[in-house]
Copies of this chain bind each other. A is one copy, B any other.
Amino acid sequence: MINDLLIKNITKNVAFSKTELEEFTQLFHSKSIKKKEFLLTQGEICKFEGFVLEGCFRIFIIDKKGNENTLYFAAKDWWLMDIDSFMNQIPSNLNMQALEDSKVLLINKQDKIALYDRFPKVEKLFRIMSQKALVSWQRRLINNHSFTAKERYLHFIEKYPDIASKLTDKQIAGYLGIRHEFLSKIKRQS
């Protein structure tokens, strides 16, 4: 079944009954995105929260200097959304691009609200998911402060080898917060 991965993902955090899970997953609709195409581009309002079934996405911002700054990569079994744009219905700063042919499950705002209202446990689920994400963002900032680019690079390819293998060096550099020329120099010495 197509929703197995989603069910497995959510029940890791909160227990749901079979019927609850059915109602839950029915509100998601699947969408295919071809390599290099965008699920969201900056300026648009983010009308969905998404869960990756297949493939991989790069979520990035283009900053004032024109650099592509990658917030995170969302591979299979990851969530992707612009919370700010979705919650407040304001234009997004984010771009979400498929790195390969991908498939996602999406839920729109009304259905998400309906889900929250129908099952308080969904609030708990997203509360827990957000708090876990918070912890990893805090860690990432500290890592950026305490480690050199080389250390961060080695840590990244060790921790996420599957994602790293799908990326160009430019994209990895955009995640590490360095220029790709410098990443090239780092790789030479290591």
Contact = CB atoms under 8 A, between A and B. Distances in A.
A2 interface: no
Interface string A39-72: 0000000000000000000000101110101010
State the majority secondary structure of interface residues on A: helix
A-B pairs with lowest CB-CB distance, top 3:
A120-B120, A145-B177, A130-B130
A interface, size bucket: 20 to 34
Given A87-B131, A116-B124, A130-B130, 6 more contacts: A71-B138, A84-B135, A120-B123, A124-B127, A127-B130, A137-B138
A5 interface: no
B140 A141 contact: yes
